[in-house]
Structure 1
Amino acid sequence: MSAVQADPAAPGGAEKKIVRPYGDTTGDGMVQVSFTLPVPHDKRAEGAAVQLANRMGIDPAMLVHAKPIGDGFTFFVVYGRVNHLVDLATVQVVERDFPLLSAKEVNAVVKQRLRRKLSVVGACIGTDAHTVGIDAILNVKGIAGEKGLEYYRELKVTNLGAQVSVPELVEAARAEKADAVLVSQVVTQRDAHLHNTREMSAAFREAMPAGKRPLLIVGGPRFDETMTDELGVDRIFGRGTTPGEVASYLVHALITNKKAKA
Structure 2
Amino acid sequence: MNDPAGTRFAVRPYGDTTDDGMVQVSFTLPLPHGSLAEGAALQVARQMGMDRPLIVHARPIGTEFSFFVVYGSVVHRVELDSVHVVEREYPLLSAQEVDEAVHAALGRDLVVVGACIGTDAHTVGIDAILNIKGFAGQKGLEYYHSLRVVNLGAQVSVADLVGRAEREGADAVLVSQAVTQRDAHLANVRELSAELDVTFAGRTRPLLVVGGPRFDPAMAAELGADRIFGRGTTPDDVASYLVHALTAERSGRADAPQPPAAQRSAV
Matched, 1:94 2:86: yes
Shift of 1:256: 3.9
Counterpart residue number, 1:117: 109
Gaps of 5+ in 2: 254-265
Shift of 1:121: 0.4
Looking at structure 1, the residues matched to 248 and 145 of structure 2 have their Cα atoms a distance apart, in angstroms, of: 19
Q: 1:103-159 deviations in whole A, cap 9, x for unaligned?
A: 111011112221111000000001111111111111111111111111111100011
Counterpart residue number, 1:103: 95
Q: 1:40-88 deviations in whole A, cap 9, x for unaligned?
A: 1112111211111011111110101112233412211101111110111
Shift of 1:258: 3.1
Correspondence for 2:233 among 224, 227, 241: 241
Query: Is the deviation greater in 252-261 or in 170-179?
Result: 252-261
Looking at structure 1, the residues matched to 81 and 4 of structure 2 have their Cα atoms a distance apart, in angstroms, of: 13
CA RMSD for the aligned pairs?
Answer: 1.6
- Tell me which amino acid in the other structure corresponds to 2:190: R
Counterpart residue number, 1:32: 24
Counterpart residue number, 2:219: 227
Looking at structure 2, the residues matched to 201 and 104 of structure 1 have their Cα atoms a distance apart, in angstroms, of: 31
Q: 1:158-208 deviations in whole A, cap 9, x for unaligned?
A: 111111000000111011110000011111111101100000000011111
Looking at structure 1, the residues matched to 4 and 172 of structure 2 have their Cα atoms a distance apart, in angstroms, of: 46
Q: Residues 58 and 99 of structure 1: is their aligned pair in 2 closer, same or farther, counting only changes over 3 Å?
A: same
Matched, 1:199 2:196: no
Counterpart residue number, 1:55: 47
Looking at structure 2, the residues matched to 167 and 86 of structure 1 have their Cα atoms a distance apart, in angstroms, of: 43
Counterpart residue number, 2:260: none
Matched, 1:6 2:36: no
Gaps of 5+ in 1: none
User: Structure 2 length normalisation: TM-score?
Assistant: 0.91
Q: How many residue pairs were aligned? A: 254
1:108-257 aligned within 5 A = 108-257=100-249
- Tell me which amino acid in the other structure corresponds to 1:73: F
Percent identity (aligned)? 66
